[in-house]
Chains A and B, each alone.
Chain A
Amino acid sequence: MHRYLTDPFQEIEEVEGGLFKLNIGPQHPISGQGRFIVLTDGELVYDIEVDIGYSHRGIEKILEYKNYIQAVVPLERMVMLDTSNILMGFVRAVEELYGVEPPPRANYIRTIINELNRISSHLYALGLYAESAGWNPAVFIWTTVDREPILDILEMITGARWSHSFFIPGGVRADLPNGIKERILDTMDFLERRLEVYEDAWIYNETFRMRTEGVGVLPRDKAIEWGAAGPSLRASGVKYDTRLNEPYSAYPELDFKIVTHTAGDAYARGWVRFEEIKVSIDLVRQAIENIPKGPVKKALPPRPVKQEALARAETARGEINFYIYTEGRDKPYRVKISPASFRNFFVIEQMPKIQEIKLADVPPLIYSFDPWFLDADR
């Protein structure tokens, strides 16, 4: 026998039963550092293990040393695509602690920025999702290009394309600049036309549906039991969106409905995300038309009125919640962040237990949850 076949130190790592352990990652399997260990016999997948923590920065610990305004900056580094939605949860928790309600104009500005962030994040996520189904990067580059006008608007309002650091407890840092309204409306029209192009090229593309329909079906009861978050939960038929179920900012005054899908497969998750872009475009239009006049920030009182608060907000990847415990100082005593991706990674790990998954299905399955390692690592 050739040495190749007998050498005990050969490279191919076999575990019991002649299975392979394939590593997907840890260098940028999606965006950020993390690893999926896939147990396979060639094409059939028996187990997926998610190895997170490659970019754990200890944000929960860092926040214990920062006051509530400084905390905004490190906190945003959790998800660079979706910074203001992440911040929204924290800002809400602090406002609840101090018993402050932001002025109505600030609420509307927050809503506009949140929704623009959601659109840009969903566009990016959908581009990655298309690429995961084996697309050459055409769609990904289109979505990245079409995200650019949104980032420009955000830069005009906040001063940065992302990591805006724009929300502070008690309001926002600045008012809207002049002439922003027409630009936002123009960009929304532009995006709506581009979404039609995506529908033609991609959402209803036969090959894309072949690859994603029936992959990773997550039934409704399992989605709740395993704690799926955001579009992944809604694609399984759970009518839950923090924006409506726990209204915050200007959402209770705006008219919109939750996008749900009953199939619960990878295609449904992508489709929910795609339809949510349309809802967000509508929300931005409503908010910019109905924005009230007035101040945009309010000072916090010197002492918090409560000792603990749990605030939830809907990020692009799903619900984030902040539990803040304070002992009355200007710094929190303990901040517990439960991001959406952390929950979705657990769901991904469970998927091979209820469904037969092939190796080629693994990337679409993972990307359809739109998990973000930096989000889960904190």
Chain B
Amino acid sequence: MKKKGFISRVVTPFVTVLKHAAYKPVTHKYPYERLEGFPRTRGRIVLKMDECIGCGACGYICPDFAIMMKPVEGKDLTYPAIDFLKCSFCGLCVEICPRDALEMQSVVELGSSNYRDLTYYPERMTEPEDIKKLLPELKYVLTPVATKEGMKYIRRRV
């Protein structure tokens, strides 16, 4: 362990803290600004109904029992319906799907005043989520810190 003098143990903390006043705040004003997701970010699950063969593998693997196969009018097969109240966005269903009929959007802003609305039936599963509708006040989309621009920002901060 390094030994330091009394002055640097008492005065240096004060100076170091005061230096932070010069740095830019890192807060995002969330409903007006939002971070962009990464390609792999796990969020809302979208169903491609043409690809789905109704095998039910997603319902089998789901650790939260959030997926159940439901019939759709005018189709012979059953398609997955997801209860997003139970879903933990682990992405196992997307991975196990033999036809890649499920994919994930980087949108996690799902919410409703009625918990029944969070059960997405196959018809609704096919429509991707629109961020503009979920956050009507959104003005800017920010790039996350780990991208190249973000790293530049970090370097400036240090």
**A interface with B by C-beta (< 8 Å):** 66, 69-74, 138, 142, 145, 148-149, 152-153, 155-160, 163, 165, 173-174, 177, 183, 186-187, 190, 193-194, 197, 200-202, 204-206, 209, 261, 271
Contacts and interface: CB of A to CB of B under 8 A. Distances in A.
B88 A73 contact: yes
A71 to B, nearest CB: 8
B9 A69 contact: no
Mostly, the A contact residues are: helix
Contacts of A173: 95
A258 to B, nearest CB: 16
Contact of B145 (A72, A74, A148): A148
Given A156-B38, A190-B154, A165 B8 contact: no
B61 A153 contact: no
B134 interface: no
B158 A160 contact: no
22 contacts: A66-B63, A70-B63, A70-B92, A71-B63, A74-B63, A155-B41, A156-B40, A156-B146, A158-B40, A159-B40, A160-B89, A165-B92, A177-B40, A186-B151, A186-B154, A190-B151, A197-B16, A200-B13, A201-B17, A202-B13, A205-B9, A206-B10
B1 interface: yes
B63 A149 contact: no
B63 A206 contact: no
A159 B91 contact: yes
Given A148-B145, A152-B146, 13 more contacts: A70-B62, A72-B63, A72-B90, A148-B26, A149-B146, A149-B151, A156-B40, A173-B95, A187-B146, A187-B151, A205-B10, A206-B10, A271-B1
A369 B16 CA distance: 27
Contact of B39 (A158, A177, A193): A177
Contacts of A70: 61-63, 92
A190 B158 contact: yes
A152 B42 CA distance: 13
A193 B158 contact: yes
Interface string B75-96: 0000000000000111110010
Nearest to A73: B63
Shortest beta-carbon contacts, A-B, top 4: A152-B146, A70-B63, A73-B63, A159-B40
A186 B155 CA distance: 9
Contacts of B155: 186, 190
B9 A183 contact: no
Nearest to A174: B40
In the complex, which of the residues B6, B62, B150 has the most CB atoms of chain A within 10 Å of its own CB atom?
B150
A193 to B, nearest CB: 5
Given A70-B61, A152-B145, A156-B38, A200 B16 contact: yes
A201 B16 contact: yes
B137 interface: no
Given A165-B92, A197-B16, A183 B151 contact: yes
Contacts of A201: 12-13, 16-17
Given A159-B40, A194-B158, A205-B13, A73 B92 contact: yes
Contacts of A155: 37-38, 40-41, 144, 146
B40 A152 contact: no
B2 interface: yes
Contacts of A200: 8, 12-13, 15-16
B2 A204 contact: yes
B96 to A, nearest CB: 9
A50 to B, nearest CB: 29
A346 to B, nearest CB: 29
Contacts of B158: 190, 193-194
A287 B65 CA distance: 37
Contacts of A72: 63, 90
Contact of A163 (B13, B88, B151): B88
B144 A152 contact: yes
Interface in B50-84: 61-64
Nearest to B158: A193
A72 B92 CA distance: 10
Contacts of A149: 145-146, 150-151, 154
A128 B6 CA distance: 25
A70 B88 CA distance: 12
Contacts of B13: 200-202, 205
B4 interface: yes
A53 to B, nearest CB: 23
A66 B6 CA distance: 58
B11 to A, nearest CB: 10
Contacts of B154: 149, 186-187, 190
B37 to A, nearest CB: 8
